[in-house]
Amino acid sequence: MEQVHDFIQWLFPLRERSGAQPNAPVLTDEDVEAIRESMSAQAALAAATDRLAIFYFRNGHWLTASDHNHLRITRIIKSLRLLRGDELADAFRTLILARVAEAGSPVGQPTLGFWSRA
- Each residue's pLDDT tens digit, 79-98: 999 999 999 999 999 999 99
**Does 7 reside within a domain?**
no
- Reported as half-sphere exposure (CB side, CA atoms, 13 A), residue 107 has a value of 26
Residue 11 lies in a domain: no
Q: Is residue 13 part of a domain?
A: no
**Position with higher pLDDT, 2 vs 60:** 60
Number of structural domains, the chain? 1
**Which of 19, 11, 23 minimizes the C-alpha distance to 73?**
11
* pLDDT for residue 73 is more than 80: yes
Q: Which domain holds residue 45?
A: 23-117
Q: What's the pLDDT tens digit per position in 20-72?
A: 888 999 999 999 999 999 999 999 999 999 999 999 999 999 999 999 999 99
Instruction: Determine the pLDDT at residue 4.
Output: 61
Within-domain flag for 69: yes
Torsion sign across C-alpha atoms 99, 74, 89, 41: negative
CA distance 63 to 97: 11
4 lies in some domain: no
- Residue 58 lies inside a defined structural domain of this protein: yes
Model pLDDT, residue 20: 85
In a domain, 9, yes or no: no
Q: What is the pTM of this model?
A: 0.95
48 lies in a domain? yes
Q: What does the pLDDT read at residue 35?
A: 98
Contact (CB, 8 A) for 117 and 75? no
